[in-house]
Chains A and B, each alone.
Chain A
């Protein structure tokens, strides 16, 4: 059965819309970097000790830029993500990722009052590309926050089975209309209930996450209900088989 893409899932002028969204996406971390570097410069001039928290906030903006550039170049060239597999602790990676996002949202200025939590084991070792998996689950987590109301609960859960790792990110956000769910992990997808004015972004995050998970030999599934929330489930083989 062929499924037509809903008209609402693609912008009217995809190329122009995409370029505009990309420019916005790149300017945002650049602007944040300019401000954070200025904070650091002024602290140094005032003879204050270097603030490790500030340094890590600056580093995370550089990472954000690098991830965006990866996503853009992969989307533009329709390339698969390149992996550099190494032994890693997936539970530790997911815990740190969640803690990092909590820290970011805890900045007094942010005040989104979202509740983020990790549920799962302390450790779960596997083989994979640490940076790309962090990027994939970071994208999923960021989407969950972005499409959730203030104070919404976002839960990241890791279950370890003998054959696979199951990572679920569940939110209480606006959800995806049922007819659009099959397209939600495609490049440039935008739900018909998520206008660009209110939810900016080029629509690459979930597509990139899916490509990274699949490149690790896994799969990505989406369940969603409008105004109830979305659950994104990534399954990764326990014996990771990056290919």
Chain B
């Protein structure tokens, strides 16, 4: 089963996201940037779902840490702040979700990056 790491400082959001995603993925949750980095050190993930506004280590720094770890782990950032989303995408995040987003939108973005559960990610379109 593919593994997803979710980081958000709000327990209710973590609760909802974990409950929904854990039906199809193995989900690990982190409530702050420090927990996120600890989890990343423990075991690799197929995808990270990252709130940009978190205590202790901000999402932008977490993206840098993920990149520094050398893995090609896709990152979807979540935020209500358009400017921060754009900055995170410039720093290497693969996709974004503007809060409050719907679960279907999230599912589609995850499937685009790592494939539907049990399936490989879709092939990129052939170069023109």
- CA distance in complex: A200, B14 (Å): 17
Collect the chain B residues with CB atoms within 8 Å of residue A35's CB.
12-13, 15-17, 19-20, 103
Within residues 1 to 38 of chain B, which ones have a CB less than 8 A from any CB in chain A? 6, 9-20, 29, 31-32, 35
Residues of A within 8 A of B (CB): 20, 23-24, 27-36, 38-39, 42, 57, 60-61, 104-105, 107-112, 150, 197-200
Contact between B6 and A109, CB atoms less than 8 A apart: yes
CB–CB B103/A34 < 8 A: yes
In the complex, the answer to whether B81 meets A39 with C-beta atoms within 8 Å is no
CA distance A38 to B103 in the complex (A): 7
Q: Which residues of B contact A107 (CB under 8 A)?
A: 11-12, 14-15
Judging by beta carbons under 8 Å apart, are A198 and B55 in contact?
Answer: yes
Question: What distance in Å separates the Cβ of B127 from its nearest Cβ neighbour in chain A?
Answer: 37
In the complex, residue of chain B having the shortest beta-carbon distance to the beta carbon of A197: B58
A112-B31, A199-B55 known; A29 and B11 CB under 8 Å?
no
Interface set of B (CB-CB < 8 Å, partner A):
6, 9-20, 29, 31-32, 35, 53, 55-56, 58, 80-81, 99-103
**With A24-B80, A31-B101, A38-B20 in contact, is A200–B15 under 8 Å at CB?**
no
Q: Which residue in chain B gives the minimum CB-CB distance to A105?
A: B11
If A39-B20, A108-B29, A112-B31 touch, does A34 touch B15 (CB 8 Å cutoff)? no
Q: Decide if B15 touches A110 in the complex (CB within 8 Å).
A: yes
Q: List 22 A-B contacts (CB under 8 A).
A: A24-B81, A27-B100, A30-B99, A32-B12, A32-B16, A34-B100, A34-B101, A34-B102, A35-B15, A36-B16, A39-B19, A57-B12, A61-B12, A104-B12, A105-B11, A107-B15, A109-B6, A109-B14, A111-B29, A112-B31, A199-B55, A200-B53
B14 partner, pick from A20, A42, A61, A110, beta carbons under 8 A: A110
- A28-B13, A34-B101, A105-B11 known; A23 vs B80 contact (CB < 8 Å): yes
- On chain B, the residues within 8 Å of A27 by CB distance are 80, 99-100
Would you call A109 and B20 a contact (CB within 8 A)? no
Of A31, A60, A111, the residue contacting B13 (CB under 8 A) is A31
* Chain B residues within 8 Å of A57, by CB: 12, 15
Q: How far is the CA of A182 from the CA of B101 in the complex (A)?
A: 40
Pairs A-B, 10 closest by C-beta atoms: A35-B16, A32-B12, A110-B11, A109-B14, A109-B29, A31-B100, A30-B100, A109-B18, A27-B80, A107-B15
CA distance A17 to B31 in the complex (A): 24
